[in-house]
Structure 1
Amino acid sequence: MRETDPDRFSIRQWPDWSFWTDPLRGASELHRGRVRSVLVNGLMMGFLAAWVIDLSDGRNGAVRTGLAVGFLCCYALAYLLVLWFGPVALRRRRIAMVAVMFVLGALPALILGSPVYLTDLTYAIAIGLMLLPLRFSLLLGFGTAAAQIAWMAVKDGRVGWGVVLTLVAVTAILGVVYALMFTIGHLKLAREQVRRMAVDQERQRVARDLHDVLGHSLSTMTLKLGLARRILESSDDAAPALAEIRDLEGLCREALSDVRATVSDYRTVSLATEVAGAKVALRAAGVQAELPAAADGVAPELQGVFGYVVREAVTNVLRHSDAQRCSIRVGRDWLEIADDGTVPADVVPGHGLTGLAERMAVVSGSLEHGRGPQGGFRVLARGPATGGAA
């Protein structure tokens, strides 16, 4: 059986009014919406009031008139209750609600013996169009009109086409109205969901960028602070320590600028800049660095994302590794960062590596990480054009 799209209207589909109960809209707004629906439809029940006034002349007898008026009142009350509870009811309850509405609406006509009063089934037809698949509710509406025509022809020998036309017109018009209401309601809900997704994606972008920026900068700052402290503790010559502190001051300013640019979404990352920064950070940590002489051969569309890969991978070397050597190799559409540190048996990727994988996926690339062929830890980023191993 072919499944239909829940957000696309179909004559075979059970109407889904879940957008009425969107929890993010708030309970108070939902309550006000239901109240407005009941009040507006209550005002539209003047047609039933006209039937009650017409029956008050007593030509049908007190008993039959009382029963007919009583059922019309129950019919009106049931209509308002179904408007309140029907859209969120299960399918079986919806069928029961529609059946009760048709029974209550048809009883006055049966009691009075007049097919004209079947016209009040317009409210039951409206409920059917609201709660049942369109292919069933339309059959109910046109079937009611056909039954009224047949009853008039048998009883009176003629057909009052005016009242029949009322049933047919109500069925057709309300069918279109409810289809439009369904479509518009789900479009509004989809637009709200897109807006929330955009906000969430922006939050994730800022969080990922801040992690990449501050992780690398703070790791380098920590190393330089430790180096300056050791120089001051072991030597009376403060000049080397002052040089490290000056570098640290520059890193602080750069990190502050990067954070501001990240929040404003103006920050751009360059592979050449990140390789140069990796050289400074690795040297401060006493790690021998093997770096590419130039990064101009990398594809332009991969320069930025490869810069993030270098930044995060070198940060991991500084934080989590006891490596003595780190190498960075690049090709036109691949990048490899490897070290000779100790790799745990169970390496669990953190936020940094997860964020890198997401960045590579944006450019249709991939990211591999784990124990390298020569030992140590290796991160390998491949662009979309890479066919084999680097």
Structure 2
Amino acid sequence: MRGPGAWWRAQSTPAKVETYTRWSFHSFALIEVSTVGLPAFAQVGAPLALVMLPPLTVHALLVSVTSSRALDWTCGRREQPVRLIAALGVLTALLGIAALAVSEHGPSGDDVDTTAGTFFVVVVPFGVGMMALGMRRRRVLALLSGFAAGTWVAAFLIGRPAATAAATALAVLLIGGVLCLTSTFSVWLLNAVLELDTARETRTRLAVAEERLRFGRDLHDVMGRNLAVIALKSELAVQLARRERPEAVEQMIEVQRIARESQREVREVVRGYREVDLGVELLGAQGVLTAAGVECTVTGSASELPSAVQSALGWVVREATTNVLRHGDAGHCRVSLGVEGTRVVLTVENDGVERDRVPSTPTSKGSGLAGLRERLSAVDGTLEAGPVDGDRFRVVAEVPLPATATSSSSASPPPSSSPSPAPRPVNEEVAP
């Protein structure tokens, strides 16, 4: 069975931030009950404690539900919980007034005053802070000021001296202000993380779109002119044939030649698209991962490897980099290329193991791990992929060198660590 640690590592960074934020505010409900309700049994006795505990528990549960719905609203999953916020505000105000009344006109004794004061100082600021979690920032200050002013008025009307009432209102303003600031900052941080994650996904989609546009431009450049010539010559041949001119045959022969030439050029475009340069893919992977915030180190050189080996391993680099970007939550990725005996070994390892697992069954030909195994099998290569050491994911591809290749093709450090050129997008969706 998977433990809590494995579950936590399986979450993305936005999910981790949201979980941490959510349970931080859920803990406020436990703090209310544990710091006010339970100690009241020892301080003021069971009868008064039993009177205090039910409304306090209801307030704590309402705090927890409001914080949960407010965070859902922040993440765009629900509408703003206006009714819950209003209900929490009313209950908080009533409990605060009741605590002040008990402190002034309730049973005498220091323990009662202390318990009532603690009840007020915990319930009112916590309620204000949780309401701020589900409100726009420009309204939080009005909320806090309103509760502080209301506290002063209520305390004064209940019978407290003006100075004591002002001190009580100041306590609400300071403690509630800290909690409101905490709520506002937590919402801002969560929104920032969600926006960064959205930008990361958008960057990946733009890379795919850019590659599709490039391929479309290449096809347009090749086919546009030839199709225009074919259309003109076909039209000319029709006119000549209607006039029974023998030149019509020559024009159709020319159309046939241009059509065959177009087929050849299209094959060259597709072949150039499918046959990748391993050196370019290594530099491109480093550039893309670095831009995505993943620390990437690349060792080895592909300059002396045969083109068939480079093409097969280049697809491995594309697929592995795509998995890191789209399925993982990696902070570091290591890519190494080397020659071991008569085999070229490519290793791609990252620390985004739990989410980096991709299904071995391809959704289409040429995609996924099964697609990579098909490409490698064409050059008698092998592929191994899976988690290692509990928290890392490793892809290892081995391809035998052709008999004509020599051991001089051993990998050497890359010539430069300067920023890579515009990388070729790495995404299985664009694999033909």
Same fold (TM > 0.5)? no
Greater RCO, 1 or 2 (C-alpha within 8 Å, sep 6+): 2
TM-score relative to the length of structure 2: 0.41
TM-score relative to the length of structure 1: 0.44
